[in-house]
Chains A and B, each alone.
Chain A
Amino acid sequence: MTKKWYLLVVLMLIGALTLAACGGGDTEEPADSGDDTTNGDTTMDDGDDHDDDDDHSDGDDHDDDLAGTVELWHAYGTGGAEEEAITAIVASIQEEHPELTINVLQIPFDQIFNKWETEVAAGSGPDMFIAPNDDLGNLSRSGLVLDITDLLDGKLENVVDTGVAGMMVDGQMYGVPESAKAVALYYNKSMVDTPPTTTDELLQAVEDGHILVQNQNGYHLFGFFPAFGGQILDDAGTTACSSGEEGFVKAMQYLVDLKEAGALYETDGGRADTLFRNGEVAMIINGPWTLGDYRADLGDDLGVAPIPGSMNPAGALNGIDGFYINPNTDNPELAVAVALELTDQESSQMYTDMAGHVPIRTDVTSDDPNVAAFAEASANGTPRPQSAAFGNYWGPFGDMVTKVLEGNVTPEEGVAEACGNFQAAIDG
């Protein structure tokens, strides 16, 4: 008898595991079914009968009556304010266009570009995805995002120039711009009354015990390089550290001084976030994508200011988020139309109000001073270069930041090595 019971339990376990495995597979399904998401009967009404009762108050005159299925990938953090925003925006658009279905799939941020590249190169993938323009140069040069210059003609009149420029590579448009992204200085008003405006004031604030936590990498710390006169690449994209090494050395020396004064440097962004959100530290440099989450924890105590400058204003790397279209999509017109809906006045306003996105439309306003501070940070930022050469920045400078801040090398040694490796990589 016992043997039979044993067998039964084992069989049930196997059955349960099999079912669980199948269940897991189902959630992956949309990623593989790129072929049947946009099938033949999806149409976009190009006729003359414009809907007069269009309550969607956008300035763009794209056609209504969107019908069909569009698959969208995003990389917003699970349960975060950005995810809530896109869910609400998609729901609102689908309500307005009952014939339209938008399937949304979340991909972890560190995997979204890889997955997109692989899927699209293999001939499938979703119709579109939203991400910063981190890799747009490479994606467009390899033909892994669709050139939509013609489809966007005359449809981005309410978008500021930097927004449009962020989606452009070699004069062609490869995405529909959504928002601007540059890091700025968050501070906790219960600890810091007036935010520091110069690097000296920031150092003084840290020395006075207002702890700053920094993400130790070449992205979050980028803004200090232009502040001290360091230019990472010349306009032609052929000379590394084109301003000479002095500005970088000064910036790194300053970051070391900050550390010695008590600033914390973390390689794990989650840890840095937690310290700030728990009120254990007074300041952090981070981007607008965390604004909604920080606001939830700190409420009115949350303040945002531009990163303090030195001889120049700090120039954080300014990225533009946008929707990119899959060259394999059966219906690029529909995908672009949906992307325009997702970035129209109403949607952008929702992104700004719910998730603190920095609008790049002239007709979106925010009375949140924190959003305004981010807008200022973006305006002063260094537009992210889309040249192939810039891709070689991350390795050498990421290593340099680690080595210098860990005290393995002096700022002079570190910068000389990083600029040398950066140049060698550019030269191939």
Chain B
Amino acid sequence: MAAIDKPSGPKAVAGSSWWEKTVDTRTAYAYLVPAFIVMAIITFYPLIYQVWMSFTDYGVRSLNPNSAVYLEPTWVGFQNYADIFSGRISNIMPNFDFWRLLAFNLLWTFSNVIFHVGIGILIAVVLNIHGLWFKGIYRSLYVLPMVIPSLVIAVVWRNMFDPDFGAINQGLNIIRDFAGLEPLRIRWIDETAPVIDFWGLLPLPMSFFAVLITNIWLGWPFMTIVATGALQSVPKDLYEAASIDGASWTQQFFNITLPMIRPAMVPAAMYGTILTFNQFNVIYFISGGGPLRQTEIMVTTAFRLVNEQREYGLAASFSVIIFFVLLGLTLLTNQVTRATESYDDA
């Protein structure tokens, strides 16, 4: 209230002390202080601490200075980063190759997001058809993947991918039986022979497709919800005008629907990208990064460095690298799609 009561005329500006300069904003800062203190303790401090950790040889014995076995972490500079980029940590993680890992992680992310957005929009458009029966039921059904804990989903899917008793192989074989074909035994998780190997640079085993299928199932409903919302705001008269002009259904979709829902879809896709890039649960609990660590992503590797190798310093460096990769990715997408610009600015 003080800011409003106080006259902020020439008199206040004349004195150039800090107290007088901040006369208008003082209260605002006062209100921000409690939130800032909480943020500083629970967000900024761990972040900075982790960056510091990434420059040390922090290990399990550095956890508690009061412990009898305490070992003070020593500053190692960029050693952890050098070990990661050069693949020298393959001593503790066999066949580790940072660039292959990064390439796989990006491929994983983009293949997922393309399916999420594509299927999401398609289903939203279909469910938006005027006069469709039981719309409410469909719309409540497709939030199911979002409300079930992803660990539960991962365990259920892992069992469904079982080569002998899993629902997927059994379902496929019922269809094949109808068609008069021999039953198949697809080893979804354990098969090491690559399905596609991109000239040996980036082998993709069957388990990649297993985790991809699961994550597509997990990811499209969110995109459908966003697209459904965006579709409600597309004026109906645009479609009427288009059909009077003789535009076909596909022309209407590509020239009206897509451009109109783009401002809503692009930020959602960016959010989906970041989420998928770090999709720990699906990878870790379905394929376990296997076989032969071919489906490991960066965040599961960082987890293994801590949980299996107790290399806290290395894992911290890994997380910092993940941060910069995601930052770069976001800036790039932002640049390409002008997501944060609205049509008014254009």
**Chain A positions near chain B (C-beta within 8 angstroms):** 114, 117-118, 120-123, 142-144, 267, 327-328, 392, 395-396, 399, 402-403, 406-408, 421, 424-425, 428
Q: Does B60 contact A (CB under 8 A)?
A: yes
A117-B310, A118-B60, A122-B63 are known contacts. Are A403 and B68 too (CB-CB below 8 A)?
no
| B102-150, CB < 8 A from A | none
Interface 0/1 of B44-77, CB less than 8 Å to A: 0000000000000000110110111100000000
Contact of A428 among B91, B192, B290 (CB under 8 A): B91
Contact of A123 among B67, B191, B308 (CB under 8 A): B67
Set of chain B residues within 8 Å of A114, measured between Cβ atoms: 307-308, 310
Set of chain A residues within 8 Å of B69, measured between Cβ atoms: 120-121, 142-144, 327
- The answer to whether B307 and A392 touch across the interface, beta carbons within 8 angstroms, is no
Interface 0/1 of B170-192, CB less than 8 Å to A: 00000000000000000000111
Q: Whole-angstrom distance between the alpha carbons of A122 and B91 in the complex?
A: 26
Set of chain A residues within 8 Å of B192, measured between Cβ atoms: 402-403, 406, 408
Find the B residue at minimum CB distance from A392. B91
A114-B308, A120-B69, A121-B69 are known contacts. Are A399 and B94 too (CB-CB below 8 A)?
yes
- The answer to whether B93 and A395 touch across the interface, beta carbons within 8 angstroms, is yes
Set of chain A residues within 8 Å of B310, measured between Cβ atoms: 114, 117
- The answer to whether B63 and A121 touch across the interface, beta carbons within 8 angstroms, is yes
17 new A-B contacts, CB < 8 A, other than A122-B64, A328-B67, A399-B94, are A114-B308, A117-B310, A118-B63, A122-B63, A122-B67, A123-B64, A143-B69, A392-B91, A399-B95, A399-B292, A402-B192, A406-B190, A406-B193, A407-B193, A421-B90, A421-B94, A425-B92
Q: Whole-angstrom distance between the alpha carbons of A402 and B290 in the complex?
A: 11
Q: Whole-angstrom distance between the alpha carbons of A405 and B192 in the complex?
A: 10
Set of chain A residues within 8 Å of B63, measured between Cβ atoms: 118, 121-122
Of A121, A123, A143, A402, most buried by chain B (CB within 10 Å of CB) is A121
- The answer to whether A142 and B68 touch across the interface, beta carbons within 8 angstroms, is no
Q: Does B291 contact A (CB under 8 A)?
A: yes
What are 22 A-B contacts defined by CB distance under 8 Å? A114-B308, A121-B61, A121-B64, A121-B69, A122-B64, A122-B67, A123-B68, A143-B61, A143-B68, A267-B190, A267-B291, A327-B68, A327-B69, A399-B95, A399-B292, A402-B192, A402-B291, A402-B292, A403-B192, A406-B190, A406-B191, A406-B193
A278 to chain B, nearest CB (A): 12
A112 to chain B, nearest CB (A): 13
Q: Whole-angstrom distance between the alpha carbons of A396 and B91 in the complex?
A: 9
A241 to chain B, nearest CB (A): 16
Set of chain B residues within 8 Å of A424, measured between Cβ atoms: 91
Set of chain A residues within 8 Å of B191, measured between Cβ atoms: 406
Set of chain B residues within 8 Å of A395, measured between Cβ atoms: 92-94
Find the B residue at minimum CB distance from A146. B68
Of B67, B68, B94, B292, most buried by chain A (CB within 10 Å of CB) is B94
Find the A residue at minimum CB distance from B69. A143
**Chain B positions near chain A (C-beta within 8 angstroms):** 60-61, 63-64, 66-69, 90-95, 190-193, 290-292, 307-308, 310
Set of chain B residues within 8 Å of A428, measured between Cβ atoms: 91
Find the B residue at minimum CB distance from A397. B94
A117-B310, A327-B69 are known contacts. Are A408 and B193 too (CB-CB below 8 A)?
yes
- The answer to whether A396 and B307 touch across the interface, beta carbons within 8 angstroms, is no
A123-B67, A399-B95 are known contacts. Are A117 and B291 too (CB-CB below 8 A)?
no
Q: Whole-angstrom distance between the alpha carbons of A144 and B310 in the complex?
A: 13
Set of chain A residues within 8 Å of B91, measured between Cβ atoms: 392, 424-425, 428
- The answer to whether B291 and A142 touch across the interface, beta carbons within 8 angstroms, is no
Find the B residue at minimum CB distance from A406. B192
B296 to chain A, nearest CB (A): 13
Which 8 pairs show the lowest CB-CB distances between chains A and B?
Answer: A123-B67, A395-B94, A406-B192, A143-B69, A121-B60, A122-B63, A122-B64, A425-B91
Q: Whole-angstrom distance between the alpha carbons of A428 and B90 in the complex?
A: 10
Q: Whole-angstrom distance between the alpha carbons of A122 and B307 in the complex?
A: 15
Q: Whole-angstrom distance between the alpha carbons of A210 and B69 in the complex?
A: 53
B311 to chain A, nearest CB (A): 12
Q: Whole-angstrom distance between the alpha carbons of A160 and B173 in the complex?
A: 56
Find the A residue at minimum CB distance from B165. A271
Set of chain A residues within 8 Å of B307, measured between Cβ atoms: 114
Q: Whole-angstrom distance between the alpha carbons of A392 and B93 in the complex?
A: 10
Set of chain B residues within 8 Å of A118, measured between Cβ atoms: 60, 63
Q: Whole-angstrom distance between the alpha carbons of A123 and B292 in the complex?
A: 36
A411 to chain B, nearest CB (A): 15
Of A117, A122, A408, most buried by chain B (CB within 10 Å of CB) is A122
Q: Whole-angstrom distance between the alpha carbons of A421 and B90 in the complex?
A: 9
Set of chain A residues within 8 Å of B67, measured between Cβ atoms: 121-123, 328
Set of chain B residues within 8 Å of A123, measured between Cβ atoms: 64, 66-68
Q: Whole-angstrom distance between the alpha carbons of A120 and B70 in the complex?
A: 10
Q: Whole-angstrom distance between the alpha carbons of A105 and B94 in the complex?
A: 34
Find the A residue at minimum CB distance from B96. A395
B207 to chain A, nearest CB (A): 11
Set of chain B residues within 8 Å of A142, measured between Cβ atoms: 60-61, 69
A216 to chain B, nearest CB (A): 9
Find the A residue at minimum CB distance from B61. A121
Find the A residue at minimum CB distance from B91. A425
Find the A residue at minimum CB distance from B191. A406
Set of chain B residues within 8 Å of A403, measured between Cβ atoms: 192, 292
Q: Whole-angstrom distance between the alpha carbons of A392 and B92 in the complex?
A: 7
Set of chain A residues within 8 Å of B308, measured between Cβ atoms: 114
B57 to chain A, nearest CB (A): 13
Set of chain B residues within 8 Å of A425, measured between Cβ atoms: 91-92
